[in-house]
Structure 1
Amino acid sequence: MRKPVLVALLLASTMSGVVVAQSTRKTGTVANAAAGPVAPASAGGPQIGAFGFDMAGRDLSVAPGTDFYDHADGAWFNATQIPADRSSYGMFHVLQDLSLTRTRGILEDAARTPGDKVGDFYSSFMDEAAVNARGLEPVKPWLAAIAAAPDRDALLLEMATLQRQGVGGMIGMGVGQDDKDPETYVASFQQGGLGLPDRDFYLKQDAPIVAVRIAYLAYLTKMLTLSGVDSDRAGPRAAAVMAFETDIARAHWDSIRNRDADQTYNKWTAADFATKAPGMPWARYMTALGIAGRPYYLVAQPSAVSGEAKLFAAASLPVLRDYATLKLLRAYAPYLPSDIDKTNFAFYGTALSGTPEQQVRWKRGVSATSGALGEAIGQVYVQKYFPPDAKAAADQLVGNVIAAMGERLRDLEWMAPETKVKAQAKLAAFTPKIGYPKKWRDYSALVVTRGDLVGNVARANAFEYDRGLRKLGSPLDRGEWFMTPMTINAYANPTMNEIVFPAAILQPPFFDPKADPAINYGGIGAVIGHEISHHFDDQGRKYDLTGKLTDWWTPQDVARFKTFTDALVKQYDAYEPLAGQHIQGGLTLGENIADLAGLTVALDAYHKSLGRQPAPVIGGLTGDQRFYYGWAQVWRIKYRDPALRQALLSDPHSPGHYRALTTRNLDPWYAAFGVKPGQAMYLAPEARVRIW
């Protein structure tokens, strides 16, 4: 289903394993923490170091003005080994491991009671012997239906049926808010159909990308063989599917254009599809998807959807059958026998992301069960690991940062007075969601059968898909959450005008009630500011206080804002994390704006929290120094090269090292660390990007 317009601190939720049908357009996400597991809170002090920062993780041979990340995090970086089951590792991953371990305990407790849905689902995943013994039997009816489809149109209807089971279609479909009428749910279509992460993986000619394509073709060949295709025919058939996907990639919009909220909002009636995107049986397709008869639909990338419809009409039926078969096997590989699961991981985990080893089965089982029954698990998780005093402290900190953002908006010199009034009203209408939903999701209608893993996954996907369909024509549910409490992430949702922080991220190094306030404001405070500012970044600013996509800034405001954002794009375009591969400043713009704003308003909030008193010196460090160290600490991360390359092509977030370097735009950072002209990180005052 359609992803809501969310901006997440990290790129993706870390606890979802099932391919659920409900979706949410996200923007914004966090990242990383300490070198080892976070210890349980002691009675006396913070969990990290003497005051919340790992002083031993610094590399004092590097001056702050030479490279602030290396200065604050270099010793940690040099001492840290990426675990064999990770493509990257940092602070976020430390908390992910903690959350996985805690959730495992909840699931194993539930598994002791047959008939408990959470326990039955987890037990079904963990019974690998039973999964292997059943082979492809659970998906054979779907495979047979694909093989028996007499023509393209019939095959498309089978693919529509499989979308309800969590198998992605050639064109994506989902249900979410109408950006220009946010009280209304609407069905929307988006470009889709690729097996690689982004169009660039099909089209770029860089040697590492070409190598990925070679590995992908070998993967498709092996998966077809495992599905029963003769080995001598699998290669040519896989090549035909690869050629088909490459044509789809050529039709796709690039990732920078896809960020534009105006360009990706296009209303079509049902009749429009036949004239604007001929080649597919749209009326029957919509009926099969369960969305026929709607007054209108949204289409995110019109030319891509039209192009994909044309490609569908031109493709041969055998190629489309193989394409559908491979999409099915890819979606269900984690729940099928080991040979298929391991083949899937060998490509997506190792060849694409550089991860040497697959996660142990219990971790995958936790993720899969959390994806299917997340809020049922989250209810227990919150009771065990998120006490009321932690929520109260987080609520207070959020309020302080929102207030600081309000003062920044009030004092802006470049924004027109009438726009500032509207901006303040939008901020005042914010809904912060902290920890967990007020109303938990009801899973009573979901059937879970111990021992039927594929069936459980299919029913969980259908449960979420149908939940999305029921939104059509229903009142807006403003209490809905799009992340579970166990997720190490946060997001902003402009159509809801909300910021959301799951319980699991409200832990060290992001937030520790026993740590020095400077560390908390530099950590979770800046993250809160990050999410708040997404409502005022280059895309979030287009939504008003009701969540409506509308033009509420003056043309002069837009022009002035663009001079700032153009400078920020240029600054990040210059960073080169891998030889020959730069950060895409246009792709990462929203996150870079949010990091800059988050730090700015969080420092204001920290100073205000001191009650006009000077900050104490702790460990020889001033309050401002500790604040910036708190920021640098949460962005500790180490990548394998393939994972970093993939992120640079498709992730709207800059790598952690460069998120830490946001500080070079902030005047107080220069004063805090005595950064001088001639040092590598020094920016002349007129070159520093100051938006808020």
Structure 2
Amino acid sequence: MHKSRLATFAIGAALCCAGASCHNNGTHSRLIREHFIETQFVDSSVKPGDDFYRFANGKWSDTAKIPPDYPVAGSGLDVHRGIQQKLKTLLEDASKNGAGAGSIEQKVGDFYTSGMDTVLINNRGYEPVNPLLAQIDAITDIPSLMKLVAAEEKNGNQTLIGFSVDADQGNSRMNIGLLLQAGIGLPERDYYFRTDSATVAVQNAYKNYLSTLFRLTGTDSINAVKNTGTVYQVEKDMAASHKTAVELRNVKANYNKVAFAKIDKEQPNIGWTAFFRNIGGRADSVDMEQAGYYTRLNTLLQTVSIPNWKLYLRAHILKNYAGYLSQPFQDAAFSYRKDLTGQQVQQARWERICGVTDKKLGEALGQLYVKKYFPPEARQRMDVLIDNLIEAFAARIQKLDWMSDSTKIVAAEKLKAIRRKIGYPDKWRDYSRVHIDRSKYFENIVAASRNNFDFQLSQLGRQVDESLWFMTPPTLNAYYDPTRNDINFPAGILQFPFFDKDADDAMNYGGIGAVIGHEITHGFDDQGAQYDKTGNIHDWWTKQDKAKFDEKVKQIQQLYDGFVVLDSLHLNGKLTSGENIADFGGIAIAYDAFKMTQQGQTDSKIDGFTSDQRFFLAYAQAWRSKYTDAIMRMLVHTDPHSTPDWRVLGPLMNFEPFYKAFSVQPGNRMYREPKDRIKIW
């Protein structure tokens, strides 16, 4: 299913790029379970009002090392490492216990076993993809080219077409086929056009990767380099038609519902009727979200020669399957990842296969995870927290001095309509059609991918199933879905340092409370505010209120534009504005809800800190992170979230209760004059 609309919390965005883990330096000790705030990491030599992120985490930052097998270290990633260990236990037990044929234990256990059988995988070399390479060699014209593109789409291997299924943003109760820009290999379009040294290094690493893939499958070195140049130029031509990361955030500009017959007529080289027939789908209309890409693709299919398209497909087929082939292919993929992210060595094999199993058989493995590791009382405590956060936000809406009463009524209705999903799905996916053989890893990858595609396709043209999740239960993250108007908290995030059933309210409201508030606020950020309570794109604001809101959004964008991340590299305020708004709202709503609790109404101290101080420390310590320079550069260009330090400092330097809690005064670096402090929700 389509995920680009989801507004996530993103604990350690590098999770998406290179797995997740870090050295915990013994931090998960009995001391933490008793006291929760990690006072041993507080750097009291730093004034809280000068750099609160450093105050909360400074002693950790001074000693923490980024492990060689990841590009990041931090508190959230410690949690993820714990999750990975739990998944390993589950998968090893499932693989050893002789589970019944067809059971989810058999499927995930045999899948994991097949992925761990490196002797067999290495002996097979690239034999598993030879039939595909032969099919590419047999291509003679555009229709046969697009037939293979469609066949691989069904196997979860997108090349030229970015097909997905999700709610129609103009009729959110029904699913529609989405067509998204695709076709490139670098992280996003601007990587093909920037000329700074860091970007050029990534371009060269990517070209070397493609050349290596050609060489590993029998092409001599000279022609491998030549072929790579051809493929790269085709990608660059397609990238020129791509929207930028900022442009992709324009909700209305990326909703383009068109009649299927219209695009079939206007883009004959793509052959939409044949493509949909070959993937097994039917549609009267589609949402072609980045139409410029498909206009360009239609032209390129005619102007690029068939031999060059065959080189392109060969490179992309090999690139997309490299991680599932023998060690030389995995090494080639990692060599590129190393330059892109700064990760020095590959993860342990078991960690990688745990990740793949979670990705391919997520709700099968998720059932086992929830049964063993997710206590029912966590759901119950979360329900109470969410109730309090909703109540706090409702009160905040009524107190806004910039919003009219008529708009407040509609905003309150949308807030009241938000649905919640906690921990795991109430209805699990069916994996009965997936055949898993413990001796055939590559075939298992294809079978699981095909099942995921078939499930997605089964939703096309049907009423939206509001019970579906777009993250697996063990995931350390959370999200808001604007077309469903729901907030979602997988079991993976419902643990320390974000949540603990035994923690004091200051800890839980500063941790998971801020996460809940963040996701709720996404329904009212610069994107979410364009959807009504039913999930349709709809202008529910008065013109005057919308103008005031847009001005506040602009202020936040300008504030974050000024934040320096690395050397002269600044955050992109427009790219990160939605997440920044959610951070502003998240901390404010969580604080208001905390003040409803008994602890929130007292100044009693624990570990030398007042209840309010503990609330803010819990928030800041949850963001404790350290990234490689390489991954930091990539995230600034591609990730809609700000970096962890600014996710702490940006909201707090604009939040009056923080000033009071730590006596922030003029002259402190975080101090802003009251008239300059931004308050949006």
TM-score by length of 2: 0.96
Q: Residue type of the partner of 2:606?
A: I
Give the secondary-structure state (helix, strand or coil) at the position aligned to 1:419. helix
Q: What is aligned with 1:460? A: 448
More divergent stretch after superposition (535-544 vs 87-96): 87-96
Q: What is aligned with 1:663? A: 652
**Cα distance in 2 between the residues matched to 1:79 and 1:37:** 12
Please give the residue correspondences for 1:1-150 in structure 2 after superposition, counting only pairs within 5 Å. 1-3=1-3, 5-10=5-10, 35-36=24-25, 39=28, 48=32, 50-112=34-96, 113=98, 115=101, 116-150=106-140
Q: Residue type of the partner of 1:417?
A: D
Shift of 1:277: 4.1
Q: What is aligned with 1:285? A: 275
Which of 288, 297, 301 pairs up with 2:290? 301
CA contact (8 A) 1:17 1:367 kept: no
Please give the residue correspondences for 1:361-440 in structure 2 after superposition, counting only pairs within 5 Å. 361-440=349-428
Per-residue CA distance 1:114-170 (angstroms, 9 max, x = gap): 641111100000001100111111111111101110113211210110111121121
Consecutive unaligned residues of structure 2, counting only runs of 5 or more, are none
Match status 1:683 vs 2:667: no
Match status 1:158 vs 2:142: no
CA contact (8 A) 1:11 1:651 kept: no
Per-residue CA distance 1:288-336 (angstroms, 9 max, x = gap): 23334x1100011112221222223211212211111111111111110
More divergent stretch after superposition (182-191 vs 384-393): 384-393
**Cα distance in 1 between the residues matched to 2:577 and 2:21:** 20
Give the secondary-structure state (helix, strand or coil) at the position aligned to 2:605. coil
Please give the residue correspondences for 1:564-583 in structure 2 after superposition, counting only pairs within 5 Å. 564-583=552-571
Shift of 1:357: 0.6
Per-residue CA distance 1:529-553 (angstroms, 9 max, x = gap): 0000000100101111111111111
Measured at CA, do residues 615 and 378 of structure 1 come closer, stay the same or move farther in structure 2, by a change above 3 Å? farther
Per-residue CA distance 1:437-478 (angstroms, 9 max, x = gap): 111111111111111111111011110111111112323211
**Cα distance in 1 between the residues matched to 2:643 and 2:438:** 41
Which of 186, 189, 203 pairs up with 1:196? 186
Give the secondary-structure state (helix, strand or coil) at the position aligned to 2:188. coil
Per-residue CA distance 1:347-371 (angstroms, 9 max, x = gap): 02x0111100110100011111111
**Cα distance in 2 between the residues matched to 1:675 and 1:636:** 22
Shift of 1:33: 9.7
Q: What is aligned with 2:211? A: 221
Q: Residue type of the partner of 1:174?
A: S
**Cα distance in 2 between the residues matched to 1:470 and 1:167:** 18
Q: Residue type of the partner of 2:132?
A: W
Shift of 1:48: 2.0
CA contact (8 A) 1:277 1:307 kept: no
Give the secondary-structure state (helix, strand or coil) at the position aligned to 1:291. coil
Q: Residue type of the partner of 1:509?
A: P
CA contact (8 A) 1:7 1:493 kept: yes
Q: Residue type of the partner of 2:342?
A: G
Please give the residue correspondences for 1:327-338 in structure 2 after superposition, counting only pairs within 5 Å. 327-338=316-327
Q: What is aligned with 1:270? A: 260
Give the secondary-structure state (helix, strand or coil) at the position aligned to 2:409. helix
**Cα distance in 2 between the residues matched to 1:171 and 1:127:** 33
Which of 571, 583, 589 pairs up with 1:601? 589
Measured at CA, do residues 64 and 508 of structure 1 come closer, stay the same or move farther in structure 2, by a change above 3 Å? same
Q: What is aligned with 1:231? A: 221
Q: What is aligned with 1:618? A: 606
Per-residue CA distance 1:42-81 (angstroms, 9 max, x = gap): 6xxxx62653111111111111121111111111111111
Q: Residue type of the partner of 2:392?
A: A
CA contact (8 A) 2:12 2:625 kept: no
**Cα distance in 1 between the residues matched to 2:671 and 2:266:** 52
CA contact (8 A) 2:14 2:71 kept: no
CA contact (8 A) 1:33 1:636 kept: no
Higher relative contact order (CA 8 A, sep 6+): 1
Which of 541, 557, 562 pairs up with 2:529? 541
Shift of 1:581: 1.4
Per-residue CA distance 1:224-268 (angstroms, 9 max, x = gap): 111222222111110111111111111111011101111100011
TM-score by length of 1: 0.94
**Cα distance in 1 between the residues matched to 2:153 and 2:460:** 18
CA contact (8 A) 1:278 1:306 kept: no
Consecutive unaligned residues of structure 1, counting only runs of 5 or more, are 20-30
**Cα distance in 2 between the residues matched to 1:38 and 1:290:** 51
Which of 328, 337, 351 pairs up with 2:339? 351
Q: What is aligned with 1:322? A: 311
Shift of 1:687: 1.3
**Cα distance in 2 between the residues matched to 1:355 and 1:612:** 42
Instruction: Count residues in correspondence.
Output: 674
**Cα distance in 1 between the residues matched to 2:128 and 2:537:** 44
Q: Residue type of the partner of 1:213?
A: Q
CA contact (8 A) 2:66 2:626 kept: yes
CA contact (8 A) 2:616 2:658 kept: yes
**Cα distance in 2 between the residues matched to 1:443 and 1:105:** 21
Per-residue CA distance 1:179-232 (angstroms, 9 max, x = gap): 111111100101111111011111111111011111111111111111222222
Q: Cα RMSD over matched residues? A: 2.1
Give the secondary-structure state (helix, strand or coil) at the position aligned to 2:48. coil
